[in-house]
Chains A and B, each alone.
Chain A
Amino acid sequence: MEELILEFKKHLIEELNLEDLNPENIDNDAPLFGEGLGLDSIDALEILLILERKYGIKLRNSADAKAIFKSVRTIAEYIRDNRQK
């Protein structure tokens, strides 16, 4: 699990151009949006694309995404349970 979390963080930094951040700067359990890391609605759409490209997960319902996108850990758990590649 820790390995998957680290891998996902690297994708996040790379694909969202979060150049000033290292994986260790991102708290596994802190909120990704708003007051936590500070990502926004466009970043959320980009995360959907990461899930699709890297893990073959198609998540088109934004209502589901809200619960899954709470933190890096909740996303990693979702990837673990649903990955197609």
Chain B
Amino acid sequence: MESRKVYIGGYSIISALGSTGSTISALEEGRSGLRKEHNSDVCARVDDSQFIATQHRSRFDKLLSSCMHNLLDECKLPAGTRFILASTKGAVDLIAGSNFPPEAFLCSSAERICRDYNLAPEPLIISNACISGLSALITAKRMIECGQCSHIVVAGCDILSDFVLEGFKSLQSVSSSNCRPYDIERNGLNLGEACAAIFLTCSSGAAIKPLISIEGGAISNDAYHISSPSRTGDGLAQAIDDAIEDAGIDKDEIDLINAHGTATIFNDEMESRAFALAGLSQKPTNSLKPYFGHTLGASGILETAICVHSLQNDIILATPGFSLQGTSRKLNIVTENISRKLQCCLKTASGFGGCNAAIVLCKESRHMKTSKVNHEIHTAAECTMVHEGPDFKEFIKKEYQKLGETNLKFHQMSALCQAAYVAAGKLLSTDVLEGIDSKDTAIVLANSTSTMETDMEHQLNIESGETNRISPAVFVYTLPNIAIGQLCIKYGIKGDNSFFLREKNDNFAEDYSRMLIEQGYAKAVICGWCNKAGEELNVNLKLLKRKTE
């Protein structure tokens, strides 16, 4: 049987450069939305005039809702269209001190959108740090390809907030001037806010013309460090190789690479090594961060929308701010817009937690893929851990000691991460992963409250008003997928990895993991629920494995 194609049905953007049309014109004219603000930070901020009239309290909801409104002007969504939201922090502007209002949860924002725009209920939220947007596109592609659904809107959104800005400053990753990806003088990133939504459909009739399809997609993990990118680039190179293989194309067919290019010293260096490992150093490569900043959870979708525009209009956009190569491996960074016939585009991203993602977009692709074999699955291990009460610290310490190991980093982890770490330790106490290649093991975790407790801790640090109280070690744990990153480091796991948010524990993570094995994306998956909210801890993890003949 042939597998279904996943077409772009339309897209809409709201960035610091305006709505879809204005953003694209600005990019083609080389204009940047980055501005020096009164406190001397350089950011790309969305103008409030872009917002439609809504009742929403949060800037996040205003931005997301306005972008969805614009998408519906662009394309007609069939009944039953599903919704996937990619974001790192959602309505983080509503968190004040130790007050975390219910509408600040990402699940709550996504549900409001489904109600307001008549999308199918039970939205999926993906919070995978800076690869969230690409993760969401890859997840949607797989769901459509295997026939779970036919139409999905994938939206990525993140707003500028003290929460995120002060966090990145505590990590010393922020530049005080316009970012310069891959340049010898690059010294950090600029944050931006944006929302972008892409309508994906299996119906070529509902798609934009010329037809653009997502032909390949893959996610990997460095298994190296929770915030530093791999020193070799092997994780990203693996995601790129897997995405190209998934697309069933040859490397030579790739006409351009839209890279992550945050302009931090380590990210750009890592990418140069990864592209060299993947044999793609000669390909015209750009980074779009100098136009609208690093928009975190939105970036994968925003930049993919721009790639779709590039393919449709046969234009490769320049990378402003780049003049002299500053990476150890040579890259072909585009410095002037190029008009050229384009067929295939590779888009990549990498993020905290050691995650990497790559997708392949093709124009008018006639390549047909046969749908993958249905591998059988068995549950190799299961671990349930429930606790209630104010003594979580003592509880988890005791459980950790039972593992009989010493890890200097354990006591630095957030409560959520400690819970995942201990539960996975129990799950993998015997050699259940033996014989399975590190890149064939995946991790898919889900919860409903994300990193609520760490969010409040970080917010209180910011509200202390003293910069030297803002702890980078706390900030990194405001990303739920850091827990996955720690498991990858501990067990050397380099395969697919995602952190999902769901309103309640409905087995979505397990069902999705089964699909990963059935379709051949993984041979083993550590999956399940891991939620820590207030005094309640609920963990249920399973190890699913492909049955061997």
Listed in ascending order, the chain A residues whose CB lies under 8 Å from chain B are: 16-21, 37-43, 45-46, 49, 52-53, 62
- Distance (whole angstroms) from the CB of B386 to the closest CB of chain A: 24
| Chain A residues closer than 8 Å to B408, beta-carbon distance | 18, 20-21, 37-39
B375 is an interface residue with CB less than 8 A from chain A: no
A53 touching B171 by the CB < 8 A rule? no
Are B172 and A17 in contact, with the CB atoms below 8 A? no
Contact call B471/A46, Cβ cutoff below 8 A:
yes
In angstroms, Cα B170 to Cα A46, docked, is 9
Asked if A42 meets B472 with Cβ closer than 8 Å, knowing A16-B412, A19-B411, A20-B406, the reply is yes
Once the chains bind, are A45 and B170 in contact (CB under 8 Å)?
Answer: yes
Closest CB of chain A to B477's CB: distance in Å?
A: 10
Which residues of B (221-249) have their CB < 8 Å from a CB of A? 225-228
Query: What is the count of residue pairs linking A and B with beta-carbon distances less than 8 angstroms?
Result: 42
Q: How many residues of B contact A (CB 8 A)?
A: 17
Cβ contacts A to B, 16 pairs, < 8 Å: A17-B412, A17-B473, A18-B411, A20-B406, A20-B411, A37-B408, A39-B408, A40-B225, A42-B226, A43-B473, A45-B171, A45-B473, A46-B472, A52-B468, A53-B469, A62-B172
Contact check, A40 vs B406: say whether CB atoms are below 8 A apart.
Answer: no
- A21 CA / B408 CA spacing, docked (Å): 9
Q: Out of B225, B411, B469, B472, which one reaches A45, CB within 8 Å? A: B472
Can you name 5 extra interface pairs (CB under 8 A) apart from A42-B171, A45-B170?
A: A18-B411, A20-B408, A21-B408, A45-B172, A46-B472
Report B-chain residues with C-beta under 8 Å of the C-beta of A42: 171, 226-227, 472-473, 476
Q: Which of B471-519 contact A (CB under 8 A)?
A: 471-473, 476
Residues of A within 8 A of B472 (CB): 42, 45-46
- Complex formed: what's the CA distance from A19 to B397 in Å? 11
Smallest CB gap from A53: residue in B: B468
Chain B residue, CB-CB nearest to A13: B411
Residues of A within 8 A of B172 (CB): 45, 62
- What's the Cα separation between A20 and B473 when bound, in Å? 18
Within 8 A of A (CB), among B425-484: 468-469, 471-473, 476
Q: B226 — nearest CB in chain A belongs to which residue?
A: A42
On chain B, the residues within 8 Å of A21 by CB distance are 408
Contact of A41 among B170, B228, B406, B471 (CB under 8 A): B228
Query: How far in angstroms is the closest Cβ of chain B from A5?
Result: 20
The 10 closest A-B pairs by CB, nearest first: A19-B411, A52-B468, A17-B411, A45-B472, A17-B412, A49-B468, A53-B468, A42-B473, A38-B408, A42-B472
